[in-house]
Structure 1
Amino acid sequence: MDAADDADLADLALRTRAELSGPADEELHLLLTAADATDDPDALAVVLTEPRHPLWAREIAAYRLGCAGDRRAFESLVLLLNHRDPERCVCSAHALKRLGDPRTASAAAALATNELRVAYALVPVRLLAALRAPESVPALITVLSRRLTPRDPHWRVALACIEGLGALADERARPVLEAARAHPRLSAAAAAALGRLP
């Protein structure tokens, strides 16, 4: 892991410390966050597969494995990408980008376009834009078009789609970005995104 990953791990360790429930948790937490924990990736992988481990332990193990490029972390990271806790989603997205698994874009697109989980779609939407994968533009267009219905409460997800489509600068996004200009909260961002299209 590089210096940025180490800083993120320190933040993750600090955040998860509040979830410890006794001496055994404290010991496991110290082991998972130790500088040499990635020397034994098999031990980290066991934390992902044994049902007795708490969520915070699986999160740390998945993060460390993902940043190390170990694909055994993929499923756990995808589950955390759609968690109700935004910090877990952000941490997972960072590790998924580092992991470089070719399944990541499809998984992020599936999570972003799942209307039953739209309240948790913000981080998957941002990850799709960052990945610049073939799945990114079609998924962002789909999500944004659904958010343009009257009184849709998920305008932040719509805004993230607009920003992502602007960054990707794909001509296929023009019709949905034009439609987004009619929405007061989205109008300025949509105009800026349209300005970035070829």
Structure 2
Amino acid sequence: MNEVLERLRAEAGGSAAYEALAAAGPDGLAASLTSPGQPLWARELAAYRLGMARDRRAFEPLVLLLNHRDPARCEAAAQALGVLGDPRTARAAAALATNTLRTAYALHPVRLLAALRAPESVPALITTLSRLLAPHDPYWRVALACVEGLGALADTRAREVLVRAQAHPRLALAATDALRRVTAGGPGA
């Protein structure tokens, strides 16, 4: 949490607005999310703090940040969404992870799906990984996150796609480990 706040403090350039927002209560944070003209760092700070406080008013802004091109923003949004506990989170993360037009930004939605262990998690990870197994696909890090997530979830529905992933040099070791977990029936296997 401190790392996110320090990054946002640096983006704010030591502004008094940062200090005011950092000290604001939930209603002040929520109001800043809908105020026009707010800089991105301010919206992220408000959404992150609300999410970490389990305030559902943060859901939509956090989902937008989860789909941002900046990996640090995506990671912070995923962290806050994981704490938030909103039942819509898994569906939103699955939509982002499986969106073929946003694959470059799917790493954190994929990791969030694995952490959530929701009913949407395994089907979305299988769908995303299946698409990324094409030869020379540039998104091997997203594919690796899918493999690792499927291994952690240890669901037998992932067996076929994990076997296919073993044929990819960058995925082979992780896919073999994930298959071992799936076959043994649990993440600790």
| TM-score band, normalised by shorter chain | over 0.9
Alignment of 1:141-160 (within 5 A): 141-160=126-145
The residue number in structure 1 matching 2:106 is 121
- Of 51, 59, 77 in structure 1, the residue corresponding to residue 36 of structure 2 is 51
Consecutive unaligned residues in structure 2, runs of 5 or more: none
Identity rate, percent: 69
**Alpha-carbon distance between aligned partners in 2 of 1:176 and 1:20, rounded to the nearest angstrom:** 44
- The residue identity in structure 2 corresponding to 1:33 is A
Residue 30 in 1 paired to residue 19 in 2?
yes
Moved beyond 4 Å, runs of 4+: none
CA deviation profile, 1:35-87 (whole Å, cap 9, x unmatched): xx3xx211110110112111100100001111111111000000000111111
User: Unmatched 5+ residue regions in structure 1?
Assistant: 1-7
Counterpart CA distance in 2 for 1:32 and 1:130 is 29
- Counterpart amino acid of 1:67? M
Residue aligning to 2:73 = 88
TM-score, normalisation: structure 1: 0.89
Q: State the distance in 2 between where 1:71 and 1:120 align.
A: 24
Matches within 5 A, 1:1-198: 8=1, 10-20=2-12, 26-34=15-23, 37=24, 40-197=25-182, 198=185
Separation (CA, whole Å) in 1 of partners of 2:33 and 2:87: 20
Cα distance in 2 for partners of 1:182, 1:41 equals 50
After TM superposition, the score normalised by the length of structure 2 is: 0.93
What is the CA–CA distance in structure 2 between the aligned matches of 1:97 and 1:103, rounded to whole Å? 11
Could you tell me how far 1:110 is from its partner in structure 2?
Answer: 0.3
C-alpha distance in 2 between matches for 1:147 and 1:42: 42
CA RMSD of aligned residues (A): 1.2
Q: 2:8 is aligned with what amino acid?
A: T
Q: Distance in 1 between matches of 2:51 and 2:171?
A: 34
* C-alpha distance in structure 1 between counterparts of 2:5 and 2:126, whole Å: 36
Tell me how far 1:11 sits from its aligned partner. Answer: 2.0
Q: Distance in 1 between matches of 2:141 and 2:117?
A: 20
3-state SS in 2 of match to 1:149: coil
Q: Secondary structure at the match of 1:18?
A: helix
Q: CA deviation at 1:143?
A: 0.3
Distance 2:88 2:147 in 1: 24
Alignment length (residue pairs):
183
Q: 1:153 deviation in Å?
A: 0.4
Q: Residues of 2 paired with 1:154 and 1:137: CA distance?
A: 19
